[in-house]
Amino acid sequence: MKTREECLKLLHEYTKSESLLKHAYCVEVAMREAAKLKNEDVELWGSTGLIHDFDYEKYPNVPDHPLKGSEILRAEGFPENVITAILGHGTYTGVKRESDLAKWLFALDELCGFVIAVGLVRPDFLDSVEVKSVKKKLKDKAFAKSVSREDIYKGAEELNMDLDDLIQFTIDALKNNKKNIGF
């Protein structure tokens, strides 16, 4: 696997949007925490989270993202398990999420964005975000309407994890790593 520094370089080469960079950092820290929980390679999982959307700004249309990005990653020599996980985070690619890496990336991608959105409407950011506040906002279709609720529910299901537990895991991962996510 490429180093975090190499992944950061790739991310910054393709991504200029501050919000997209912050999203990448959020998914990275959550994936690192998931790797610790699963006793997996923290660097590999974190770097996968970091680069999962690196191509989105340049190729925002379905199915270009993440298909174009996968071609770039192959040319750059990234491992196939990382590429497969990144392809699987887009349900429209048809790539099955079979590995824990792929399942966790899918589960955390939308949920990280949603938890951050909940935190941004609070005066203390993430400090007071709780599972019940996230679940309440999930019911509000107008709130963070670009976030796929279906993907959040499906992510928990594919992990065979209670949604409340996954939400709490994500809140904790982001809270405990606030200095690393750019907020």
pLDDT at 183 over 90: no
pLDDT score at 144: 97
Give the pLDDT mean for 4-19: 97
- Tell me the per-residue pLDDT of 124-149, one tens digit each, with 9 for 90 and over: 999 999 999 999 999 999 999 999 99
Q: What is the pTM of this model?
A: 0.97
State the sign of the Cα–Cα–Cα–Cα dihedral 90, 49, 104, 148: negative
In contact, 52 and 24? CB cutoff 8 Å: yes
Determine the pLDDT at residue 16.
97
- Determine the pLDDT at residue 136: 97
Q: What is the mean pLDDT of the chain?
A: 97
CB atoms within 10 A of CB 120: 12
DSSP assignment string, 31-65: HHHHHHHHT--HHHHHHHHHHTTTTTTT--STTHH
Of 63, 151, 149, 147, the residue nearest 106 (C-alpha): 151
Residues composing the chain: 183
pLDDT of residue 182: 87
Nearest to 116 by CA among 6, 20, 8, 17: 20
pLDDT at 56 over 90: yes
Give me the long-range contacts of 86-93 (CB less than 8 A, separation at least 24).
Answer: 86/48, 86/51, 86/52, 89/52, 90/62, 90/63, 90/65, 90/66, 91/151, 91/154, 92/62, 92/63, 93/63, 93/66, 93/67
Tokens coding 31: 């994936």
Tens digits of residue pLDDT in 160-182: 999 999 999 999 999 999 999 98
pLDDT band, very low/low/confident/very high, at 112 (cuts 50, 70, 90): very high
Could you give the domains of the chain? 4-180 (1.10.3210)
DSSP for 110-125, please give it: HHHHHHHHHHHTSTTT
